[in-house]
Structure 1
C-alpha cells in the first residue's frame, strides 16, 4: 500500500511547536536535505557521521535491513520560521513544497546515521521513508523541543543537546550585541580583551539564566535531571533568550569598564587586572544567577510575566546607571572603586574540590548585594565583603 500522501499533524501547545509526521520518497528526502547533510546537519555542533568500527557495523546492519524492506525510525528535521502559519499545510504535497522552499534553513535534528545508512542502500531511492518535521517560531522553542526529545537518552547529555542547537543562538547573540566576540572551543583562543568570551561559557551562562541555579556545570553535571526540568519549565513560559540578551548586553558593557583597570598586579592571587573578573567563569555564573533570580523569580517560584517585566525595567535601568557611573571615573578612581586587592583577599581560596561552587556562590552573593542596594554603593568593597 502506497502511503506517500498521508501525514499526521499534532500541535504542541506547551512550546508552540508544530509536528508533522509524513512519508516521503528517499530520493526526495535526500534532495531537500542535501545542504543539511553536507553541512553537518546544518546545525553547528551536530554529530557528524560516525567513523568508528562499531558505528560502521551498526550502519551496515541498518543498510541491510532497509534494503530488505525494513522500516527505520523517523528522521527528525526542523525549521525555525517566525512567519509560519499552520493552515498553509493541508497535504503531504504542501509539506514537501514547504521544506523544499526552506531547504537552506532546514536542519537534521536527529538521523544523520540513519540517513547515511539509507544513502548506501542500493535500488531504494523510490522507497518511502518516515520523516518528522518540527516547525517552531523561535530558537528558544527549538531548544525546548530538543530537550524534550532527547531527555533520558543515555548517549545524549544535556551539553550535547545544547551544542546541537546553540550555535544559532550564539549567532543571534552576536548579531544583537555590539563588541562581543564568542570564539568556539575549536578556535582555542585565550581571552585577551574585554567582550571576548568562549562560546561554551556563554552557553553555560544562558543555561544558568534559565535554571536560576549557580550550581549548574555544563562540563561535569549538566545532564542532571533537576537542571533539565528547571530549564524546560522556565523556557516554556517565556522567551528567556530575549531577556538574557538584554542582560548580556550590560555584562559586556561592565566587562569593558572593568577592563580599563589594565595594569597587571602579579602579587594578586587570581584577579590580577580588571579583565580577569568577568573572564572568571564563577564570576560570570554568579552574576548571571543573581540577576536571573531577581528578574524571573527563584526556581520553582516564577514571578508573573508582568512582574518579570517590571523587574527587568527597574533592574536593567539601575544596572545601566551603575555602568554610566563607572564610565565617568578615571582609571585611578575606577581602580579604587573596584578594589581588586579586596576582591582577591575576600574571594574563596580553599584548595577544596568544591572551590568552583564556592566561587560561584561568592559572586552570586556579591552581585546580589549590588542589586539589593539599587546599584548605589560607595565602592565594590560592599559587594566583596558580603
Structure 2
C-alpha cells in the first residue's frame, strides 16, 4: 500500500480521469470546504469510510467499458452521452497511430494532408463501429438500450489480459488502416476519407462484421489485401473512388437523404467485400451496394 501511495503521489492531474463519481467527489470537496471553520466536524466528516477503485494503466477499452455504465442499477448512458464522454480519451488513444494528426472542431485548421482528421468525425466513426450500423435513430429508447448493451459487451471483451497490442483495441486498428490507405490516396484525394459518411459507413461495416461469427475471420484479410493493392498500384483506382463519386451524385435528393444513402452505400460495399473474403473488386462491391440502396 505504501508503494502504491508513493506511485500515486507523483502522478500529474492531467493523467487522472474520474470515470464515475465526479458529482460525489465535488460534493465531498464542497462539504469539506464548508466545514473548514469547524475542526471537529471536519475531522469526523473526513474520517468516514469511502470505497475508491484505482485503475492503473487501464486500456482505452477498459476505461470505455466503465464509462458506459452508471452505478445506479447499472443503467447504460444514452448513446449521445457515451460518445461525448469518450471523445477526448479516444483522441488521446488514437494519437499514437503513425501518420495521424487529430484536431478538434474548434481549431481553425482544416484537413490539408492525408492522415488529418477532426476528432468529432472519428468519434462519430467510433459510434458507428460500436453500433455496427451506419444509420440509426438513437431517439428510439429500445434500440438505444440494445446498442448500449452491445457496446458494453464489445468493449468488455478488451479487458482480457491475454489480448495484446493492436488487437486490444479494434477501433484503433481500423483507424490505423484508414490512415495507411489515406496516405496512399494522397493529397489529391482528401475528400474520400475526409467525408464523415465514408468513415461512418466503413466503421459500421467493420464493427458489425467483426462481431459476426461467420464472417469475422474474413474482415482483416480482406482489408489487408486491399491495403496491399493500394500500396502496389493506384489507390484511387483500387478503391474505385470515381465510381463511388458517381453513385453518390446520382442519388435523387428529392426522394432520399443523401447522407444516409451514402453511409448505406459505403457500408454495403465493404460488407460485400467481407462477404466475398476480399475476392470481389471494389467496383463490384460498389455496384452491388448501389443496387440495394433505396
CA contact (8 A) 1:204 1:217 kept: no
| Structure exhibiting the larger radius of gyration computed from Cα positions | 1
| Larger relative helix fraction | 2
Q: Give 1:208 deviation, angstroms.
A: 2.4
CA contact (8 A) 1:207 1:231 kept: no
- Aligned pairs (5 A) from 1:192-211: 192-211=112-131
The equivalent of 2:17 in structure 1 is 107
Kindly tell me: are residues 130 and 201 of structure 1, through their superposed partners in 2, closer, same or farther at Cα, counting changes over 3 Å? Answer: farther
Q: Give 1:178 deviation, angstroms.
A: 0.5
Kindly tell me: are residues 216 and 151 of structure 1, through their superposed partners in 2, closer, same or farther at Cα, counting changes over 3 Å? Answer: farther
2:267 is aligned, of 364, 368, 373, to 364
| CA distance in 1 between partners of 2:263 and 2:133 (Å) | 10
SS at match of 2:169: helix
Task: After superposition, give the CA deviation of every residue in 1:329-360 in whole Å (9 maximum; x if it has no partner).
Answer: 25xxx555544443233224425674332221
| CA distance in 1 between partners of 2:236 and 2:87 (Å) | 36
SS at match of 1:224: helix
- Aligned pairs (5 A) from 1:209-224: 209-216=129-136, 224=144
| CA distance in 2 between partners of 1:225 and 1:349 (Å) | 33
The equivalent of 2:191 in structure 1 is 276
The equivalent of 1:316 in structure 2 is 220
- Taking CA–CA contacts closer than 8 Å with sequence separation of 6 or more, which of the two structures ends up with the larger relative contact order? 2
TM-score normalized by the length of structure 2: 0.73
| Larger relative strand fraction | 1
- Aligned pairs (5 A) from 1:12-31: none
Structure 2, gaps ≥5 residues long: 160-166, 289-294
| CA distance in 2 between partners of 1:95 and 1:335 (Å) | 53
SS at match of 1:123: coil
Matched, 1:117 2:15: no
Task: After superposition, give the CA deviation of every residue in 1:266-314 in whole Å (9 maximum; x if it has no partner).
Answer: xxxxxxxx221221111111111212222221xxxxx49xx95xx1xx5
CA contact (8 A) 1:193 1:275 kept: yes
Q: Give 1:147 deviation, angstroms.
A: 1.6
Q: Give 1:180 deviation, angstroms.
A: 0.7
Q: Give 1:232 deviation, angstroms.
A: 1.2
Task: After superposition, give the CA deviation of every residue in 1:114-155 in whole Å (9 maximum; x if it has no partner).
Answer: 25633641425533166442333433222221221278999x
> Which stretch has the larger CA shift, 344-353 or 284-293?
344-353
The equivalent of 2:246 in structure 1 is 345
Matched, 1:226 2:146: yes
CA contact (8 A) 2:133 2:205 kept: no
The equivalent of 2:292 in structure 1 is none
The equivalent of 1:242 in structure 2 is 169
1:171 is aligned, of 84, 88, 92, to 92
| CA distance in 2 between partners of 1:157 and 1:372 (Å) | 32
Q: Give 1:368 deviation, angstroms.
A: 1.6
Length, aligned pairs only: 265
SS at match of 2:18: strand
| CA distance in 2 between partners of 1:235 and 1:289 (Å) | 15
Q: Give 1:230 deviation, angstroms.
A: 1.9
Q: Give 1:188 deviation, angstroms.
A: 4.6
Kindly tell me: are residues 135 and 120 of structure 1, through their superposed partners in 2, closer, same or farther at Cα, counting changes over 3 Å? Answer: closer
Structure 1, gaps ≥5 residues long: 1-88, 263-273, 298-302
TM-score normalized by the length of structure 1: 0.57
